[in-house]
A and B are shown apart, each in its own frame.
Chain A
Amino acid sequence: MSKIEVDKVDPQSGTTLTLGTSGDTVSIPSGVTLANSGTMTGVPVPTTGIAASAISSGTIATARLGSGTASSSTFLRGDQTYAEAGGGSLTFLNTSTGSNVSSIDINGHFTSDYAHYKLIYSLYAATGNTDSMCRIMQSGSVVTSSNYWYAGMGMYRASGNTSANNTGDNGADKWLISSSDNTADSQYPCTGEMILFNPLSTSQNTTMTTTNLGYNSGSPPNAIRIWTFGGQYVDAAASSGISFSYEGGNINGTVRLYGIKNS
Chain B
Amino acid sequence: MTMYKLLNGEKVKLTAEEETAKIAEIEQANINRQARETAAADAETKKASGKQKLKDLGLDDAEINALMGV
- Residues of A at the B interface (CB closer than 8 Å) are 94-98, 101-109, 127, 129-131, 142, 144, 161, 180-181, 246-249
Contact = CB atoms under 8 A, between A and B. Distances in A.
Nearest to B37: A129
Contacts of B69: 161
Interface of B: 3-9, 11, 14, 18, 21-22, 25-26, 28-30, 32-33, 36-37, 69
Given A109-B8, A130-B29, A161-B69, 13 more contacts: A96-B8, A102-B14, A102-B18, A102-B22, A103-B5, A107-B7, A108-B8, A129-B36, A131-B29, A181-B33, A247-B26, A247-B32, A248-B26
B30 to A, nearest CB: 7
Nearest to B28: A247
Contacts of B5: 98, 101-105
A105 B6 contact: yes
A249 B26 contact: yes
A105 B4 contact: no
Contacts of B33: 129-130, 181, 248
7 contacts: A97-B9, A101-B6, A102-B5, A102-B18, A104-B6, A130-B33, A247-B32
A51 B29 CA distance: 72
Contacts of A108: 8
Contacts of A96: 6, 8-9
Contacts of A161: 69
B30 A248 contact: yes
Contacts of A127: 26
Given A101-B4, A102-B4, A144-B21, A248 B11 contact: no
A30 B8 CA distance: 71
A105 B29 contact: no
A102 B6 CA distance: 8
Nearest to A174: B25
A128 to B, nearest CB: 9
Q: Which of B6, B11, B22 has the most CB of A within 10 A?
A: B6
